[in-house]
A and B are shown apart, each in its own frame.
Chain A
């Protein structure tokens, strides 16, 4: 999928995350999290895996995490990308 426009998904509630995506030349992922020290690398891995699965090769991805579990990370990234891929 291709990031064609700015989009976001998720909420700032606990156990959730906000995902912001926008078109860019390179693929970059920025993570802000209450648990970034312990879990930042795992969150990044999860997001990278999901982006790969969705065949997203470029775009600026920013997430603001509130302790989302894997299924919620997957869902919010997928939703943000789907919204950004719409014409």
Chain B
């Protein structure tokens, strides 16, 4: 797994790769991670310029206060391989791989990253991979893609390309995305990695954006790709555990500790049954609150799972 310090990935902001005015703001954005984009945000005749600019920028950004991923061009384009060769020596944290339709495509990137790590003399596995699941084929293969390399720390759903591959329109309600989102989530959860939801392009419509963020949080996504810094706060607000959620989680933990003292694994709290799955969910709320600095709480595995 990645450095624990950075395991919180709620807000992942796209930054166009050929714009110095945006790039040099990367240290100032308060998102958890950035996707510096060499793909769709860069016109074909500027691919060479963007990869040089991005590699120069990342090399200067040594005091990192967020993770830096680079979205390269797909490996079957004339630019993908050169993107890697130019950008990796600057030491980004990882690569967001577009059009990751099959495990073979991700495995190919894995091999290239290993070769570069050997050349650069850095530990094997340093560079992470976030595959973009953004076609019908990618959704079908998501389960294999999530498990095909230990570098894969998250799956990122891409609804714009996905709806294009399905020959359908994307709506604000997102009903057409349900099955694809669910499959990406199952794949990620089964593999024990994170799941990042798609972008929401209409920056002016903050109400619909908030609704979508709440929806994907409830579905199980751990974060969301963003197109504008204005969207960061909403994601953090929605993803933060609410005070009553935290209070209840603490009560659950206290209740289960009491139950275990009495020699049982189940107890009633305010008339509701508390048993192992409830405790696990409470533990997740507490850990999330602690990781976001909202709570100071020591939680041992022994409390969650009981002593053997």
Closest CB-CB distance, A59 to chain B, in whole Å?
18
Report chain A residues within 8 Å CB of B49: 9-10, 75-76, 79
The verdict on B21 contacting chain A, using a C-beta distance below 8 Å, is yes
A-B contact count (CB 8 A): 48
Q: Nearest Cβ distance between residue B22 and chain A, in whole angstroms?
A: 9
Interface of B is mostly: helix
Contacting pair B52 A15 (CB below 8 A): no
Which A residues between 41 and 87 are near B, CB-CB below 8 angstroms?
68-72, 74-76, 78-79, 82-83
Q: A13-B19, A82-B48 known; A69 and B53 CB under 8 Å?
A: no
Within 8 A of A (CB), among B30-67: 48-49, 52-53, 55-57, 59-60
Residues of A within 8 A of B57 (CB): 71-72, 75
**Quick one: closest A residue to B61, CB to CB?**
A71
Contact indicator A71/B52 (Cβ below 8 Å): no
Select the residue from A14, A75, A76, A83 with max chain B CB neighbours within 10 A: A75
Is A22 interfacial (CB-CB < 8 Å)?
no
Could you tell me if B24 and A15 are in contact, using CB atoms closer than 8 angstroms?
A: yes
Cβ proximity bits A11-50 to B, threshold 8 Å, 1 near / 0 not:
1011110000000000000000000000000000000000
15 A-B pairs within 8 Å (CB atoms) are namely A10-B49, A15-B21, A71-B20, A71-B24, A71-B57, A71-B59, A72-B24, A72-B56, A75-B49, A75-B56, A78-B52, A78-B56, A79-B48, A79-B49, A82-B52
Interface residues of B (CB under 8 A from A): 18-21, 24, 48-49, 52-53, 55-57, 59-60
Query: Which 4 pairs from chain A and chain B are nearest by CB?
Result: A75-B53, A15-B21, A72-B20, A71-B56
